[in-house]
Chain A
Amino acid sequence: MDISAFVLFWAAIFTSNILLTNFLGMCSYLSVSREVESSFGLGIAVMFVLTVTAALNWLVYNYVLVPFNIVYLQFIVFIIVIAAFVQFLELVIERYVPALYYTLGIFLPLITVNCAIFGVSLFMVIRDYSFLQSIAFGAGSGLGWLLAILMLAAIRRKLKEKLVPTGLQGVGISLIITGIMALAFVGFSGIVQIQ
Chain B
Amino acid sequence: MIFVILKDIAILSAISTILALVMVLAQRWLSNYGTCKIDINGKRDVSVIGGSSLLSSLSEKQIFLPSACGGRGSCAACKCKVLSGGGPVLPTERPLLSKEELSAGNIRLACQVKVKSDISIEIPSSIFNIRRYHATIAEIIDYTYDIKGITFKFDDGEKIDFLAGQYVQLETEPYPEMKQRVVRAYSISSKPEINDALQLIIRYVPDGICTTWVHKYLKVGDKVSLTGPYGDFYLRETDADIIFVAGGSGKAPIKSILEHLQIVGTTRKMTYFFGARTVRDLYLTDEFKALEDVFPDFKYEPVLSQPDPNDNWSGKTGFVMPYFKETIRDPKNTEAYLCGSPGMINAVTKALMENGLAKEKIYYDSFG
Contacts and interface: CB of A to CB of B under 8 A. Distances in A.
A181 B53 CA distance: 40
A94 B23 contact: no
B231 to A, nearest CB: 39
A102 B90 CA distance: 6
A63 to B, nearest CB: 11
A50 to B, nearest CB: 19
Nearest to A73: B12
B110 to A, nearest CB: 16
Contacts of B12: 70, 73, 76-77
Contact of A38 (B11, B16, B91): B91
B23 A88 contact: yes
Nearest to A37: B91
B239 interface: no
Contacts of A103: 91
A80 B21 CA distance: 13
Contacts of B87: 98, 102
Most A C-beta atoms less than 10 A away, residue of B12, B20, B22: B12
Interface in A40-89: 41, 60, 64, 68, 70, 73, 76-77, 80-81, 84, 87-88
B31 A84 contact: no
A92 interface: yes
Nearest to A32: B91
Given A87-B23, A95-B31, A80 B15 contact: yes
Interface string B102-117: 0000000000001010
A31 to B, nearest CB: 11
Interface string B3-20: 000011001100110011
B88 interface: yes
Contacts of B114: 94
B90 A68 contact: no
B26 interface: yes
A180 to B, nearest CB: 28
Contacts, number: 53
A41 B94 CA distance: 15
A80 B16 contact: yes
Interface residues of A, number: 23
Contacts of B30: 91-92, 94-95
A75 to B, nearest CB: 11
B363 to A, nearest CB: 42
B11 A81 contact: no
A73 B15 CA distance: 11
A92 B114 CA distance: 15
Interface string A82-118: 0010011001101100100011001100000000000
Contact of A88 (B11, B16, B22, B91): B22
Contacts of B306: none
B109 to A, nearest CB: 12
A121 B91 CA distance: 29
Contacts of A95: 30-31
A176 to B, nearest CB: 24
A77 B9 CA distance: 12
Which among A73, A81, A95 has the greatest number of chain B C-beta atoms within 10 A?
Answer: A95
B16 A70 contact: no
A68 B19 contact: no
B27 interface: yes
B62 interface: no
Contacts of A102: 87-88, 90
Interface of A: 38, 41, 60, 64, 68, 70, 73, 76-77, 80-81, 84, 87-88, 91-92, 94-95, 98, 102-103, 106-107
17 contacts: A38-B91, A68-B7, A70-B11, A70-B12, A77-B12, A80-B19, A84-B20, A87-B23, A87-B26, A88-B22, A88-B23, A91-B30, A91-B31, A94-B31, A95-B30, A103-B91, A106-B92
Interface of B: 7-8, 11-12, 15-16, 19-20, 22-23, 26-27, 30-31, 87-88, 90-92, 114, 116
Closest 5 A-B residue pairs measured CB to CB?
Answer: A84-B19, A91-B30, A95-B30, A70-B8, A91-B26
Given A92-B30, A102-B87, A102-B88, 13 more contacts: A38-B91, A41-B91, A64-B15, A68-B7, A70-B8, A73-B8, A73-B12, A76-B12, A81-B19, A87-B23, A95-B31, A106-B90, A106-B92
